[in-house]
Chains A and B, each alone.
Chain A
């Protein structure tokens, strides 16, 4: 299946991923080939097969709803690209 340059742009936007205009065509070709590969799945009859989400078919384990992490705010904030007064700074969201 072919993925058009327009579709690539749309999907890249859904993934919040800028792709340079001059590279869109290459992505479109590469992704079309990936989809061709993936479509080999169509050869399999899977009508009565249960999907397998986890190798051991295990259920998600639950834990007590208690705080286990220690507070290390400053250490975590030290990786922030931009911060002020212990808060993450982002471009203006509301006018």
Chain B
């Protein structure tokens, strides 16, 4: 069951080969069996999943099902889920029961997908290793001594170990693409504004975007289809029609122009990773693509600008956690200021505090022009680099991360080295562009992802380009031996 595509699962459900209750139970059994060591879930919602599966079976029986009805999935614990704890990986929200559904959750509920649970993540999506979680680190299913990446590490691990067919994530600086790369699965971060942010606990609002993890581009197309679209509840949601992402998957890549930014292949890139990316590019040449060398000259400025913009927006967004209306409150506050300070000081983890202080400093009186305004100007330079490149090419390709998954604890004492690992993913968030990571090979027994970057609202093209590679290769079908199940 676990190696079936979403389309195959759908056929199985529609033709009565298995029920949604059976399928959902199968995944719940896998979670019970394997997640103790992986720690990919913060909350498993068995009862709700089975109740939703029962409803799905009824919909299938009475003919009101969609293509996704009955297929179970998992949500990153940053999406508000009505009546279910939504923690954002933080002690601050350990007792927070969301009173409403995020639009993404609402849409996938309506599509009839049973929710298996809420997945582990770096606290408030701040991190690249999933080690900044109040619920303990999530492990990489390929090697339990290594990180799955972050911040959506739980969702990536869930799909990599096939504890769910698909899972949602969010990507503010690489938080979908990097964990997808490190765990050997397919991940897509759509264009800023393509998927509603309503009900997603905010980190950096001008960068945050929801997306998904799946086992293939074809599966990604189906789920992205169900999630994308205009939402009046999100003021930056974009009101343009959503194309049929599955319809163009089989388009030929003959004549496709692929840009390779020279800045993405300079020092700092692991040579084994570089070889795998080069081999993937060779594969694309066989599929008829033309390679164009391009330059994104402001790449080196993206990380500095990001570490102003993201903390500044975070310091503002996280000011809502005051211990008054929801979330953690310290014991016996002596006055209001003491309550604010200790509630926040005791409940936020170290990386979150670091970013709040950085952001507060950047926005404080006298520093706005030197930091936030300057970073926004650099943001435009970074964006213009991409726009110039897209005058010449259809998509841009390169590595997702400079290296394969690192060991737990390896970078925790050095936040800057962790930040620098996001060199190839961050620029895209600043520019608001869509990006994917697809598995392209293995280095030292760990997966390596190929990044595919497109211009605004070209998700169809990205999915098509990814799908064609997956028709010609089988890297996306690999999974960690340990979790290959005995099939029923």
Contacts and interface: CB of A to CB of B under 8 A. Distances in A.
Interface string A21-52: 00000010011011101111101101001111
B333 A76 contact: no
Contacts of B378: 41, 44, 46, 49
Nearest to B329: A81
Contact of A38 (B307, B333, B431): B307
Interface in B75-101: 95-97, 99
Contacts of B409: none
Contact of B377 (A31, A34, A38, A52): A52
A2 interface: no
A6 to B, nearest CB: 13
B325 interface: yes
Contacts of A53: 206, 376
Nearest to A69: B100
Nearest to A82: B329
Secondary structure at the A interface, as helix, strand, loop or mixed, is: loop
A79 interface: yes
A43 B99 CA distance: 47
Given A34-B307, A38-B307, A52 B376 contact: yes
A7 to B, nearest CB: 8
Given A50-B380, A80-B326, 17 more contacts: A11-B364, A15-B315, A15-B344, A16-B322, A16-B344, A18-B345, A31-B357, A37-B307, A41-B375, A46-B381, A51-B380, A52-B379, A55-B206, A55-B430, A76-B99, A79-B95, A81-B323
Interface of B: 95-97, 99, 191-193, 206, 232, 235-236, 238, 298, 300-301, 303-305, 307-308, 315, 319, 322-329, 333-342, 344-346, 348, 353-354, 356-358, 360-362, 364, 371, 373-381, 383, 415-416, 419, 430-433, 456
Interface of A: 3, 7-8, 11-20, 27, 30-31, 33-35, 37-41, 43-44, 46, 49-56, 58, 60-61, 63, 72, 75-76, 78-82, 88, 90-93
